[in-house]
Structure formats: structure tokens, C-alpha cells
Amino acid sequence: MCLTGVQYVDSIREALVRSLVLVDSPCQHIDGYNKPEIELQNSKELLLDPIELRRNEQECIIIERSLNSVRVNVQVRPAQAPKCYCYQSQSLYAPHPESTSHVSVQLKRVGDLEAWLRSKRIAFIMQRADDIDIIRRKPAPGFDISFLVTARHLQSFDKTALINLITTLVTELASVNDLKRLISSRGRVYSLSISRALAA
């Protein structure tokens, strides 16, 4: 089911409120340790059904739940890499046909600006994974960013603050329209100033 922006954020918030009811239980396979069961996946009886929310075909969130931990996997960009167009031209000043030189220019499509901006935002957040305790250093396979919330986090932090942090980061990752508008307006200003300078 595809959702609009407001419905998407509201459904993420509701699913997190339902999922973040965690119990501080020790691991059944490692004595004396409280390991997240969602990461170990050893005890099937402690795992709950995942919740999948889709905004469109590219953006989705899967909330994997267990008794003592929740993993939130976020995908905000398409799986394939953006296409670049290559143009090659021969040099006119080569003395011999055997020693021709080629110039290659790669041009990104305008639609790839959104994918590039999202990848930069994801990289910015992932660099701060040590400071933000709930972000995994390496996301789950096939996803852009993953959050891991355990019962220890709920004892240390406020539950609503954690939910607000996750929903804010997800909406910030998904919305790059403001940055696209800013870059387009800057490009317009620069092109006008260059055309005025050439006209003078």
C-alpha cells in the first residue's frame, strides 16, 4: 500500500509506538549477556512479525521486532546506481591518426540530483553513528540506514524522543525537494550573472 507523506509519517509513528514495548530479557544462548534477539535470530519464539510500510516503490521501512529489541530498516533510494551519459570526441590537433586522444565527459541527468543529495545525507548521518547510539554502523543488506533500539535504550532515553528522532531522520532523508529548489535557484542566479557579464 502506497501512502502520502503525512500518512507515511503517521503510520511510522504508530508502528513504532506499538513496536517499542520491549522487555529487558537475557539472551537464551549466551549466558549473562543481554544481546538483541533481532540481531542474533537464534530463538524464533522471541521474534515477532515484521511491519512493512511503503511510501512508494522506492521508499519503504521494515520494522523487525523481537522481545528485547527492534530494528528499523529504511530504504529511500532506488537499488540501481544512477546512469551517467558519456560523450567522447577525437582531438583535432593530433599529428598522426594512431595517436588520437579522446576526451570523455560524464553528465548526470537532472533527476540524478535527488539521488545524489540523498546519498550525501545518508553518508552524513552514517558518519555520526557513534554519536547517535541507535544507528547501526552498517545498515541491513538492501537498505540505506538501519536503527537498532533495545530495552537498554528505552531505559536511558525517553520513548517519544526516540520515536521523534527516527521519524525526523526518515522524513529528512526522504525529502530533498527544498535542497533541489535551492540548488536550482542558485543555478539561475549564476547563469543570469554570467549572461549579464558576457552581454556587457
5-15 residue pLDDT tens: 788 888 999 99
Measure the CA–CA gap between 148 and 134, rounded to whole angstroms: 5
pLDDT at 197 over 50: yes
Q: Is 44 helix (H, G, I), strand (E, B) or coil?
A: helix
Of 60 and 90, which is predicted with more confidence? 60
Angle among Cα 130, 131, 134 to the nearest 5 degrees reads 75
- pLDDT category of residue 16 using cuts at 50, 70 and 90: very high
| Closest C-alpha to 168, from 143, 135, 140 | 135
The SS3 call for residue 21 is coil
SS3 38: helix
Q: Per-residue pLDDT tens for 145-178?
A: 899 998 888 888 899 999 999 998 888 877 776 7
pLDDT, mean of residues 51-55: 89
CA dihedral 37, 43, 48, 52 (to 10 degrees): 70
The DSSP code for 187 is H
Domains of the chain: 5-78+114-199 (3.30.1460.20)
64-78, 110-124, 150-164: least confidently modelled range: 110-124
